[in-house]
Amino acid sequence: MRLENKVALITGAGSGIGYQTALRFAREGASIMAVDINEEGGLQCAADIRQRGGAASYVYADVSRAADCEKMIAAAEATYGKLDILFNNAGISHADDDDAINTSESVWDMTMAVNVKGVFLGCKYGIPALQRSGGGSIINTASFVAVLGAATPQLAYTASKGAVLSMTRELAMIHARGNIRVNALCPGPLRTELLMKYLDTDEKKQRRLVHIPMGRFGEATEIADAVLFLASDESSFVTGSTFLVDGGITAAYVTPE
């Protein structure tokens, strides 16, 4: 198994990419610390893994709060003795996120607190745990909109994911000699609850689909396979990457330098 004897902490494990990645990691032998503010979803994720014979626990954490992030890392080490993989995946896309004129300051602040500060705090407390275990892999969820602008205005979300991308690059450089790899996962538009709530009309959905060469939304299970690669030793020479899993959307619109 590709993650045998590994311990993975996954934020946003109660739904979508986080949920499917937790299941995927567990099938590959990892012990899972599932983290979410959605207690029902987080508990269900851990229960599903245990029912399939895997090892999983749930801990509540609001990733925008330092005390909660410190607690979730401590819970992983206390439960499983170490931490090998940190998947900073929790994020929000607010329904009222729009352009600079129409996005409220409160929506901007909330988005930055979860999407950017949450990744910072996960790394602040998670990196020492990885150091204690001799190294490991950090995967931070960014987005294809960190590379492209979004067709439907969502300025706070796009800016937050750009920050995750640049933060990931710097962390990768800082910790490369310490056997800690840090990569940014950049999914394209996915058929997840988070995006479908935002793209709440057929018009909005079509505005996204027309830009995707594959002509469909991605699935959370497909992203989970990509995260598995970044978490496993198969990606042992990969760090600081912008790991695009986007159905070809950026290849179609990014002009080579």
Query: Considering the domain boundaries, does residue 190 fall inside one?
Result: yes
CA distance 97 to 63: 20
CA dist 34 and 14 (Å) reads 8
pLDDT confidence of residue 150: 82
Beta strand 136-141 with 180-187 is parallel
Judge contact between 97 and 111, C-beta under 8 A. yes
Q: Where are the alpha helices (DSSP H) in 113-241?
A: 118-132, 155-175, 193-198, 202-209, 220-231
Domain holding 218: CATH number?
A: 3.40.50.720
Which element (helix H / strand E) includes 26? helix 16-27
Any domain includes 147: yes
With CA atoms as reference, report the closest residue to 227 among 168, 191, 185, 182: 185
* Model confidence pLDDT, tens digit, residues 48-100: 999 999 999 999 999 999 999 999 999 999 999 999 999 999 999 998 999 99
236 to 133, 136, 173, 239: CA distances (angstroms): 16, 10, 15, 8
Of 19, 58, 80, 157, catalytic: 157
Phi, psi angles (nearest 5°) of residue 52: -95, 10
Range(s) of the domain holding residue 147: 7-237
- Pair of tokens at residue 171: 């962390």
Domain membership flag for residue 86: yes
Euclidean distance between CA atoms 36 and 61, whole angstroms: 6
Residue 75 lies in a domain: yes
Residue 47 lies inside a defined structural domain of this protein: yes
Predicted TM-score (pTM) above 0.75: yes
Question: What percent of the chain has pLDDT above 70?
Answer: 98
How many domains does the structure of the chain reveal?
1
The answer to whether residue 253 is catalytic is no
Q: Residue 250 falls within a domain, yes or no?
A: no
| pLDDT in the model for residue 255 | 58
Q: Is residue 244 part of a domain?
A: no
Please state, in angstroms and rounded to a whole number, the distance separating the CA atoms of residues 8 and 19.
Answer: 13
Answer whether 96's CB lies under 8 Å from 110's CB.
no
Residue 204 has pLDDT above 90, yes or no: no
pLDDT per residue as tens digits for the range 162-200: 999 999 999 999 999 999 999 999 999 888 776 777 677
Tell me if 247 is assigned to some domain. no
